[in-house]
Structure 1
């Protein structure tokens, strides 16, 4: 009998949401420590480089109007433009929130033998690291359906506390409260059919919200290293499929797996959203840097001009 290549990091019945919540809560303290370590490492790597301050990337500016108080002028931003003087747009700043969400569904519990962590652990540590990074820059953050938008230097700790206190977390983010001027970072394995994923994310596009998708991928899910008689079990539904020679499915599987990713990434590109892939045998900091750059670039496209 071939040894299993991967399994759920914490075996929990898909229908037992409370047990999944307890399992998730047990991870949070250590993940918070990891998140802060990752952020400190990333920031240390930025020292000595000509980078804007963390928070500065997330401000919106508009041209100065004659008669406005000169105290509102942002001289640093104005110095980068030869033709205009800019003020920080308080209306935009007050309305802007970066929403953070990690997929809590059972498929995220998977961890193969070659992965450093489960997909759930990687997703949560990225959300907490982003919360830490954004909070240090004075940005307003929130978890849809779990916390209202807030500004705090200990943003990651507050978000972690909300997760610890939550008995259950919805399998999809509650999007009704997310409005224009906001960004949302969605961390998931995105293994649902592409059409379903696009359908529930479409409300964000229609409301003028910018989304940044992070796909968490286990290396075994991508490479399909299975051979011989293999039983596959859907962690969401419990459905089973037994393959007599699993290797005969490999090529078709890999094509379908990558086609799903390419379709989602192309859709995001058309919407000027970002799509980042992070493998669980790679460093979480790689995705953190990419998403931070994507957020910065998105804000830079709108900064300095009228809405």
Structure 2
């Protein structure tokens, strides 16, 4: 974890702020036909599945019906063409996994990673809600997991967002409670035990601590479910400033570093680059859909760009 030396409690979110994101969450859901410039329309297995079709009724053929839907057995019995009609599958359970661990308590510019994750989780919840899905989730930090069972109601979305806001506001630099190794794996394992098939699982995290075991769990989870990994990162993970003072914390050890010193700056760059590379490599190998959100910019325009909606009218 890397923290700035000054902290501002105003950067934490509230339930009201997350609820107020509802209009911004009126976007096409993750399962619809994706625009060609959407990151969910990529290759190599990164594409989210479309919604399935549920059988609705058997009815007489009318001009314009798709001949592929003709039920030949019923047609032979009746002596006249019959077709099967379908309705689009709705009301799928959507689980939002929101990371509020201490590693998320960092932001070098606009937002904390934890706050960006809270906002993206809220947007994902509203997208699922307006798509007609049941919404639930798991909000987790280093010590606890808050689980919300998926349900189709605005009250359930509000419950999830309230839990996210509470954990976000509880983050403190001076929190000396022990961190549980493998907490991310525990959360994914818990979701895997409940998401048997045909669920949407949206994991919003910086994926700090990702391992080969995490990779295996993601692959298992995505075998019968749609999994979307949204990686929240800080611009410092990509480009360090030429000067400044930061505190680097790893495995309960904190060290203050002056980035104006070339040797120190290079060491920190190597450290951050390697962590970012490991996360990128594991998520790519997992073959789950993968989006990136930076803390250096507002979350809404980034999500719209990722879905190929820049310049598109809001619903």
SS at 2:17's partner residue?
helix
The number of residue pairs the alignment matches comes to 247
- Shift of the 58–178 alpha-carbon distance from structure 1 to 2, 3 Å rule, reads same
Q: Aligned in 2, Cα 1:130/1:291: closer, same or farther, shift over 3 Å?
A: farther
Rate the CA distance shift 1:82–1:28 in 2: closer, same or farther, 3 A: farther
Return the alpha-carbon distance in structure 1 between the equivalents of residues 255 and 5 of structure 2: 15
Distance 1:274 1:9, change over 3 A: farther
| CA pair 60-9 structure 1, distance change in 2 beyond 3 A | farther
Taking structure 1 as reference, are residues 250 and 98 closer, same or farther at Cα in structure 2, changes over 3 Å only?
same
User: In terms of mean alpha carbon deviation, does 133-142 or 160-169 score higher?
Assistant: 160-169
Cα distance in 2 between the residues matched to 1:168 and 1:283: 22
Name the larger-Rg structure: 2
CA distance in 2, matches of 1:8, 1:129: 28
Distance in structure 2 (CA, Å) of the matches to 1:276 and 1:138: 23
In 2, distance between residues paired with 1:192 and 1:28? 27
Q: Is residue 140 of structure 1 aligned with residue 154 of structure 2?
A: no
SS of alignment partner, residue 223 of structure 1: coil
Is there any run of 5+ residues in structure 2 with no aligned partner, and where?
A: 29-34, 36-48, 70-83, 139-145, 172-179, 309-315
Instruction: Give the alignment of 1:1-307 within 5 angstroms.
Output: 6-7=4-5, 9=7, 27-39=13-25, 59-61=51-53, 68-70=57-59, 83-84=68-69, 85-88=84-87, 93=90, 96-112=92-108, 115-144=109-138, 146-153=147-154, 156-163=157-164, 171-172=183-184, 173=187, 174-175=190-191, 176-205=193-222, 208-225=224-241, 227=243, 231-234=247-250, 237-241=251-255, 245-250=263-268, 252-253=270-271, 255-269=273-287, 273-289=288-304
User: How far did 1:63 drift?
Assistant: 6.7
Against the structure 1 CA distance between its residues 246 and 178, is the aligned structure 2 distance closer, same or farther, given a 3 Å change threshold?
same
Q: Which has the higher strand share?
A: 2
How big is the alpha-carbon RMSD for the aligned residues of Structure 1 and Structure 2?
Answer: 4.2
Going from structure 1 to structure 2, the CA distance change for 1:134 and 1:154 (only over 3 Å counts) comes to: farther
Aligned counterparts of 1:263 and 1:122: Cα–Cα separation in 2: 22
Compared with structure 1, are the counterparts of its residues 224 and 58 closer, same or farther at alpha carbon in structure 2 (3 Å cutoff)?
same
Q: 1-side partners of 2:93 and 2:135: how far apart? A: 5
Is the 1:230–1:246 contact (alpha carbons within 8 Å) kept by the matching residues of 2?
no
User: What SS does the aligned partner of 2:238 have?
Assistant: helix
Q: 1:123 and 1:288 mapped to 2: Cα distance?
A: 12
SS in 2 for 1:146: strand
Residue in 2 that maps onto 1:14: none
| Alpha-carbon offset, residue 255 of structure 1 | 4.0
Q: Which of the two has greater helix per residue?
A: 1
With over 3 angstroms needed to count, the CA separation of the structure-2 counterparts of 1:199 and 1:292, relative to structure 1, is same
